[in-house]
Structure 1
Amino acid sequence: MWCCSNFPGGLDECLTRMARKGEVKVDAVKINLFHFEADLVANGWTAGCEEELFYAISADQTNIVANDMRWLNLDMRRYKRKIKAKEQALHETKVRAIKRGAKDPRENLADFKRFLRQKHGGSLLRAWRQSLVEGDSMMLHKGQFFKACVNLKWRTDVKGLWEILDTDTSGTIGIEELDFKAAEELALFRQFVMQKFGNATRTFAALDLDGNKNVSEVEFLQALKEFGYEQRDKHLFHALDRHGKKKINLEDILFLDSWKPMEFLLASPSLESAQNFKNRLREKFGTFLRAWKMVLDMDGSNTCTWEEFRLTCKKIGFKHDIAGAWRALDQKMAGTINLSDIDPASSSVLLDFRNWAMEEFGSVRAMFSVFDEDGSKSLSLKEFKRACRIYGFRGNLKGLFNILDGTGTGTLSVDEVVFLDRWATQTEADMEKAADSMSRLPSIIKTGQDSVAEEVAGPGQGQTVAKALEAGSWKDGDLHPAFRTWANCRRRRPVKKQDGSLPPLASQLDFGDARVVRRPVLLMAYVPEEVACEIQSARLPKIHRKAGFRAEGLRTAR
Structure 2
Amino acid sequence: MAAPSEAAALLKTFLERSWGSSLKAWITAFDVENVQRIHKIEFIEIMRKSGYIGNIQQIFNELFDDSGEISMSKIDPEQADLWTRFREWCLGTFRSVDELLTRLGKSNEERFKNRQTIKARLAKNPQTIKARLAALNEAQFKKRVQELGWEHGQEALLFSALDTEGSGVLRREHFRWLEAEYRRIKRKIEAKSQAIHSLKKQQANDARLVTLGVFKQALIKKHGNLVRGFRMGLANDQLILPKTQFLKACAVMGFSHEARDLYKMLDKEQCGFASLEELDPPTAEQLAKFKKFLESNFGGACRNAFNLEGDRKMAFPQFESEVKQWGYHGNIKKIFQYLDRDGRKTLEDSDLRFLDKWTPSPYFLVEANHVAKEEVKELLNQKYNGHFMKAWRHLLDKDGSNRVTWSEFQSACHKLRYTGDVAGAWRAFDADLSGYLTLNEVDTEASDTLCEYKGWAWEEFGTVRAAFGVFDHDNSNSLSFEEFRSNCRIYGYEGNAKKLFDALDINGEKTLSMSEIAFLDDWDMGQSQGRSKDDKRKSHIRQMNESLKRQQQISHSAGRPTRGPMDLAQLKSISTIKENVVSENETDRSQKVTRVKQGLQLRADLPLIPFYRWPMRRIPGPGEEEDPHRPYHCEQRKGRERKHWVQEAAQDFLPKKSPWLKPLED
TM-score (norm 1): 0.70
One-letter code of the match for 2:171? V
User: Aligned with 2:524: secondary structure?
Assistant: coil
User: Aligned with 2:419: secondary structure?
Assistant: coil
Contact 1:108 1:156 in 2 (8 A): no
One-letter code of the match for 2:251? V
Match of residue 79 from structure 1: 185
Q: 2:199 aligns with which of 67, 89, 93?
A: 93
Contact 1:30 1:65 in 2 (8 A): no
Deviations 1:311-346 (A, max 9, x none): 111112111110000011111111111001000011
Partner Cα separation in structure 1 for residue 152 and residue 453 of structure 2:
24
Contact 2:142 2:155 in 1 (8 A): no
Partner Cα separation in structure 1 for residue 143 and residue 524 of structure 2:
48
One-letter code of the match for 1:20? K
1:163, CA displacement in angstroms? 1.6
Partner Cα separation in structure 2 for residue 55 and residue 349 of structure 1:
39
> 1:335/1:373 Cα in 2 relative to 1: closer, same or farther (>3 Å)?
same
One-letter code of the match for 2:133? V
1:422, CA displacement in angstroms? 0.8
Partner Cα separation in structure 1 for residue 272 and residue 478 of structure 2:
38
2:389 paired with 1:303: no
Partner Cα separation in structure 2 for residue 48 and residue 188 of structure 1:
70
One-letter code of the match for 1:390? I
Match of residue 29 from structure 1: 136
Partner Cα separation in structure 2 for residue 292 and residue 80 of structure 1:
36
One-letter code of the match for 2:210? E
Deviations 1:80-102 (A, max 9, x none): 111111121123324x478x59x
Partner Cα separation in structure 2 for residue 48 and residue 133 of structure 1:
72
Partner Cα separation in structure 2 for residue 327 and residue 282 of structure 1:
20
One-letter code of the match for 1:58? D
Match of residue 348 from structure 2: 249
* Larger relative contact order (CA 8 Å, sep ≥ 6): 2
One-letter code of the match for 2:146? A
Match of residue 304 from structure 2: 202
1:66, CA displacement in angstroms? 2.1
Partner Cα separation in structure 2 for residue 47 and residue 180 of structure 1:
58
Rg: which structure is higher?
Answer: 2
Match of residue 594 from structure 2: none
Partner Cα separation in structure 1 for residue 143 and residue 525 of structure 2:
45
> 1:55/1:139 Cα in 2 relative to 1: closer, same or farther (>3 Å)?
farther
Which ranges in structure 2 are unaligned for 5 or more consecutive residues? Answer: 1-86, 112-128, 533-576, 579-666
Partner Cα separation in structure 2 for residue 291 and residue 262 of structure 1:
25
Match of residue 220 from structure 1: 319
Match of residue 463 from structure 1: none
> 1:19/1:244 Cα in 2 relative to 1: closer, same or farther (>3 Å)?
farther
Match of residue 605 from structure 2: none
> 1:404/1:47 Cα in 2 relative to 1: closer, same or farther (>3 Å)?
farther
2:427 paired with 1:327: yes
Alignment of 1:283-294 (within 5 A): 283-286=382-385, 287-294=387-394
Match of residue 363 from structure 1: 463
Contact 2:228 2:342 in 1 (8 A): yes
1:56, CA displacement in angstroms? 3.9
Partner Cα separation in structure 1 for residue 403 and residue 463 of structure 2:
19
Match of residue 186 from structure 1: 287
One-letter code of the match for 2:334? H
Contact 1:301 1:422 in 2 (8 A): yes
1:3, CA displacement in angstroms? 7.1
Match of residue 269 from structure 2: 168
Question: Once superposed, what is the RMSD of the aligned Cα atoms?
Answer: 2.9
Contact 1:29 1:66 in 2 (8 A): no
TM-score (norm 2): 0.59
Match of residue 148 from structure 1: 249
Q: 1:259 aligns with which of 334, 358, 361?
A: 358
One-letter code of the match for 1:104? A
Partner Cα separation in structure 2 for residue 4 and residue 422 of structure 1:
37
Partner Cα separation in structure 1 for residue 530 and residue 223 of structure 2:
33
1:372, CA displacement in angstroms? 0.4
Contact 2:242 2:272 in 1 (8 A): yes
Deviations 1:363-397 (A, max 9, x none): 00000000001111110001001100000002221
Match of residue 213 from structure 2: 110
Contact 1:380 1:411 in 2 (8 A): yes
User: Aligned with 1:337: secondary structure?
Assistant: coil
Partner Cα separation in structure 2 for residue 226 and residue 212 of structure 1:
24
1:241, CA displacement in angstroms? 0.7
One-letter code of the match for 2:517? V
Q: 1:382 aligns with which of 482, 486, 490?
A: 482
One-letter code of the match for 1:172? F
Match of residue 279 from structure 1: 378
1:36, CA displacement in angstroms? 6.1
Partner Cα separation in structure 1 for residue 155 and residue 240 of structure 2:
66
> 1:425/1:280 Cα in 2 relative to 1: closer, same or farther (>3 Å)?
closer
2:100 paired with 1:14: yes
Deviations 1:43-75 (A, max 9, x none): xxx999877655543323965432210232233
Partner Cα separation in structure 1 for residue 197 and residue 184 of structure 2:
20
1:190, CA displacement in angstroms? 0.8
One-letter code of the match for 1:10? S
Match of residue 439 from structure 1: none
Partner Cα separation in structure 2 for residue 241 and residue 48 of structure 1:
75
Partner Cα separation in structure 2 for residue 49 and residue 115 of structure 1:
63
1:2, CA displacement in angstroms? 4.3
One-letter code of the match for 2:450? L
